Amino acid sequence: MKASRQTERALLGGAIAIGWLAFGLSWLAAPVWEPQAFFYPAAISLALYLVHLSLRAMESGADELLLPLLTVPLFLGVATLYRLDRASAFWQVIWILSGLGPLLLLQMVTDIRAWRDHWLLLLLLALGCLASTLLFGIEVYGAKSWLKLGPMRFQPSEPAKILLALALAGYLSRRKELLLVRFWQLGPIKLPHPAYFGPLALAVALTLLLMVVQRDLGTGLLLFGLFVCELFVAAPRLDYLLLGFLALGAGGMVSYRLFNHVQTRINIWLHPWDQAAGQGYQVVQALLAISAGGLLGAGLGQGSPQHIPAITTDLTFVAWCEETGLAGSIALIVVYMLLSQRGLKAALASNDDFLTLVGVGLTSLFTLQSLVILGGALRLIPLTGVTLPLFNYGGSSLVSTLFSFGLILRLSAEERSS
């Protein structure tokens, strides 16, 4: 019987309606009205509806909640960016359309399981992406993690995250039983045999070393979190988890000693008001904007978030907090929680180890990145330079995130059809 995907269609219509309302309010608040700006929501709506029709035509059994959930931050992000910087909103629409293409094409992949055998190639490609900036990269905000392609900048670490998640899944799915057995004793600690754990540790060490050399410690944190999550799911041993936390703490202390910009960010996090007119200006303005939002916010287009430096790339969520208040902020966070839940549900429902690890890896990357930037915006942790997926401005990040959810969507379809 042909899949009607009625739930997806109904929820997608509601999400698009919310997006149009948000964009309309931002458009009305603009000092100069641009009727042509309604091309932005029209283009996104058409693209999303075409994805829905394509899934229906393919009789896909993919999760019907994922596409509507993705629609909410995509639309609200464009509405917020239009209010902050019209050029950023225009390019964000271009990146959304560019990312939805691969998301749809991934639904035509016949068998993701076949990728398991190419884990070494995927790993080498990931390391190649990360190493490319050492030769050709440019430095932005203290991190040499960008490539310049004509008028555009591109972060190779974004596709590298996906490649590394796939490579780790392939390796761990083949050796998970061996990683559970303690062959080798190092003092009081019993570990798997170096022949099985060694290649994994070497790959992770090389990845983190490249991130340290580039001074892109935010991405390094995400990749380390990816490694710990996939390893624990593949070999659920508490000592692995404990070693991961200890390594994270040790790495944080070493980074604090070695890098001045890490010391600066931690000092700003701990004492922002002491540097309110200098390096702590961004954090202080963000805190003032959040507090000004109150319960229901100032209204879309009615706040003053434009005074915050790097508002479109780092702290777009703060602008949303100021203009929609606590209610709007919680609502958006709930959407991110639901996206994480659907990703993990699709992963854990699989009977195939490789597919489970792929889903867990990609979902953990999305969740960890969201937690890191939300925590930084709310001053729960030091602010890093990563973007809020699907919401902040960022071309390579947005396309990579949509690619990841394309894989998760395909994974959920494959399991329901098996």
Is residue 405 a part of any domain in this protein? yes
Does 397 reside within a domain?
yes
- How far apart CA 138 and CA 100 sit, in angstroms, is 28
Kindly state the tokens that stand for 281.
């200006």
Which of 39-53, 133-147, 302-316, 382-396 is the most confident on average?
A: 39-53
| Domain span at 70 | 6-417
Residue 139's pLDDT band (boundaries 50, 70, 90)?
A: low
Q: Is residue 381 part of a domain?
A: yes
For 107-137, how does the pLDDT look when each residue is reduced to its tens digit (9 = 90+)? 988 888 889 889 989 999 998 888 888 777 6
pLDDT in tens, 74-105: 999 999 999 888 888 999 999 999 999 999 99
Task: Give the predicted TM-score (pTM) of the model.
Answer: 0.91
As a whole number, mean pLDDT of residues 254-261 equals 76
Task: Identify the band that residue 193 occupies on the pLDDT scale cut at 50, 70 and 90.
Answer: low
What is the per-residue pLDDT for 1? 42
The domain tally of the chain equals 1
Q: At 189, is the pLDDT very low, low, confident or very high (cuts 50, 70, 90)? A: low
- In this prediction, residues 232-252 reach a mean pLDDT of 80
With the C-alpha atoms ordered 226, 227, 228, 234, is the resulting torsion angle positive or negative? Answer: positive
Q: Helical H runs in 147-299?
A: 157-180, 194-214, 217-234, 238-258, 260-270, 281-293
Banded pLDDT at 144 (limits 50, 70, 90): low
Say what the pLDDT of residue 186 is. 60
- 3-state secondary structure string, 6-55? HHHHHHHHHHHHHHHHHHHHHHHCCCCCCHHHHHHHHHHHHHHHHHHHHH
Is residue 249 situated within a structural domain?
yes
In a domain, 1, yes or no: no
End-to-end CA distance of the chain: 16
Specify the pLDDT at position 187: 62
Kindly state whether residue 348 falls inside one of the protein's structural domains: yes
What interhelical angle do 353-377 and 217-234 show, nearest 10?
Answer: 140
Is residue 273, in this structure, part of any structural domain at all? Answer: yes
CA 245 – CA 255 distance, rounded (Å): 15
Q: Give φ, ψ of 188 to 5 degrees.
A: -80, -5
Contact yes or no for 81/37 (Cβ under 8 A): no
What's the residue count for the chain?
Answer: 418
